[in-house]
Structure 1
Amino acid sequence: MSGNEDIPLPQKMSEAASGFDLHAAVVEPMVLKPGERALVPTGFALSMPIELEAQIRPRSGLAYKHGITTLNSPGTIDADYRGEVKVLLINHGQESFTVARGERIAQMVFQLVPQITLNEVSELSETVRGAGGFGHTGK
């Protein structure tokens, strides 16, 4: 995107990496205080085939070292979205964290999305689990 020529495009940091690292395209350093969240621009937009989605996920190093993670994890970028990709970061750490221009802030993983048709039925088939939900199998 114009004005962000210095920001690297998403890139894998190793041959076997599943995610593409995303870089912050902030104009000025952005300070996230403990408990604060912010939408961080990445300086790029993308176009994908309809059978794909891009998922935005945290970077494990930022989460472990600083408590910085993505709030809606994984965030979904739909195939028909054409705006700038932005990352919703939150600081779960105890200290303020500064997001600098060009810093790696998240990763993007592409996933296939099957084309599904939902059908309404009056009754569901039975299973051993049934309606057992949260914590139904014990600790």
Structure 2
Amino acid sequence: MKIKVYLLHPDAILPTYAHHDDSAMDLSSVEYVLLHPGKHLAIGTGIAIQLPPLTEAQIRPRSGLAYKYGITVLNTPGTIDEGYTGELKVILINRGQEIFQVLKGMRIAQMAITPVIRPEIFPQLRS
């Protein structure tokens, strides 16, 4: 399977697998922002993707950020549908007690590509 990745920002970093057997690849920020406790922001990755038919991308938290700082993905897993071609943004929320600095180039989330099953729906009346 191949996925086209479009670099939309000069600081964009291609999604990468940290290890050869990882199930998800890291997404990195192209922004510097301060994320205050209890607040959430959509952080740009500077990339767009073109998914193969019958797949989706799931955006998931990085366990290290969650454990060490209380930073997680607000709508986890975030779903990127096959037809979406805009910039991937990650909605991070700070559940910790301290202001968190999101740095340019920081790995902020993970992206897993998964198959999609689209069943036909048959309405039935219950008796």
User: Is the TM-score greater than 0.5?
Assistant: yes
Distance 2:15 2:118 in 1: 27
1:68 aligns to 2:74 (yes or no): no
Would you identify which runs of 4 or more consecutive aligned residues in structure 1 move more than 2 Å? Answer: 1-4
Paired residues for 1:1-139 under 5 Å: 1-4=7-10, 6-26=11-31, 29-123=32-126
Q: Which amino acid aligns with 1:23?
A: S
Distance 1:3 1:77 in 2: 19
Contact 2:35 2:93 in 1 (8 A): yes
In structure 2, runs of 5+ residues without a counterpart are 1-6
In structure 1, runs of 5+ residues without a counterpart are 125-139
Contact 2:8 2:48 in 1 (8 A): no
Deviations 1:10-35 (A, max 9, x none): 00000110011000011xx2000100
Q: For 2:65, what is the secondary structure of its paired residue?
A: helix
Q: Which amino acid aligns with 1:3?
A: H
RMSD of aligned alpha carbons = 1.2
Structure having the higher strand fraction is 2
Q: TM-score, normalised to structure 1's length?
A: 0.84
Q: CA deviation at 1:123?
A: 1.8
Q: TM-score, normalised to structure 2's length?
A: 0.91
Report the structure number with the largest CA radius of gyration.
Answer: 1
